Amino acid sequence: VVRIWVTGDLEAGERITASAEQAHYLLNVMRLSVGDEALLFNGRDGEWTGRIVEAPKRGCVLEVEALTRPQTKGPDLELVVALVKRTALETIVEKAVELGAARIRLVVTEHANRDHARADRLRAIAAEAAEQTGRLDAPAVVAPEPLLGILADWPPHRALMFCDEAGDAPPALQALSGRPGGAWAVLIGPEGGFSAAERAAIRALPAAVPVSLGPRILRADTAAVCALTLWQAALGDLKAS
């Protein structure tokens, strides 16, 4: 069944007006019509069935009917990723959603790509990935912030899995094993890597846990997938029971 992420409140009888893109997708791509149903979620109220009740020109109104899945929270895992090439960043956002990132923060570093990532395009990718992957929420994509600012304001309770390609960090699973779960972030640098000053500033953070992702240098998108998977396997919802 088709799933769409909406912003409105979800409760029986509520009427939801789909966006123009969603209306096109429901009516033209999926060829649904009045009377057909879709699954709706908004990140707050769980997943509900919605029945198409009106299909005005280029529009689509659904009436919320029944709760199919109560809202649940995934792991409190953030991805902090440096601005890389546009296509790589779009891949990273999509994979981070599939791998359960609760929030995605874009960061500007010395070697970051200047062709700025369009945050609204990345948010649309995040919503589509959440629909496809069966999540009950779509992570926020936070507009680019400077790395040193992020570090200065770092919340002490959130551990930071610092993916450090410098080569002297312990293997990720070893560094993570035995640590408490809870609030974590994964930090991935740009194609040009972190500068020495940036590496020192990150390692100076008490919350930082430097990790190696192996003896090979991974592209940022590969590193993001690898790091998120390792974290989920060690401390998250891929953890062996």
Contact residues: ligand SAH, CB under 6 A: 163-165, 188-189, 191-194, 212-214, 216-218, 220, 223
Of the pair 18, 163, the CB lying nearest ligand SAH is at: 163
Of the pair 6, 147, the CB lying nearest ligand SAH is at: 147
- Sole residue written with tokens 């430097």: 210
Of the pair 134, 146, the CB lying nearest ligand SAH is at: 146
Shortest reach from residue 198's CB to ligand SAH, in Å:
9
**Are 190 and 113 contacting, i.e. CB atoms less than 8 angstroms apart?**
yes
Q: Tell me how far CA of residue 23 lies from CA of 4, 35, 64, in angstroms.
A: 10, 14, 16
Q: Which residue has the closest beta carbon to ligand SAH?
A: 189
**Are 180 and 207 contacting, i.e. CB atoms less than 8 angstroms apart?**
no
Shortest reach from residue 62's CB to ligand SAH, in Å:
41
Name the strand (E) or helix (H) holding 89.
Answer: helix 86-98
Of the pair 61, 233, the CB lying nearest ligand SAH is at: 233
Shortest reach from residue 66's CB to ligand SAH, in Å:
44
Of the pair 98, 191, the CB lying nearest ligand SAH is at: 191
Shortest reach from residue 197's CB to ligand SAH, in Å:
14
Which has the closest alpha carbon to 114: 198, 215, 190, 203? 190
Q: Tell me how far CA of residue 143 lies from CA of 84, 92, 190, 206, in angstroms.
A: 14, 15, 16, 25
Shortest reach from residue 241's CB to ligand SAH, in Å:
28
Shortest reach from residue 186's CB to ligand SAH, in Å:
9
The token duo for 96 is 């981070």
- Sole residue written with tokens 């740009």: 190
Of the pair 131, 164, the CB lying nearest ligand SAH is at: 164
Residues 6+ apart with CB under 8 A from 210: 162, 164, 168, 169, 170, 175, 202, 203
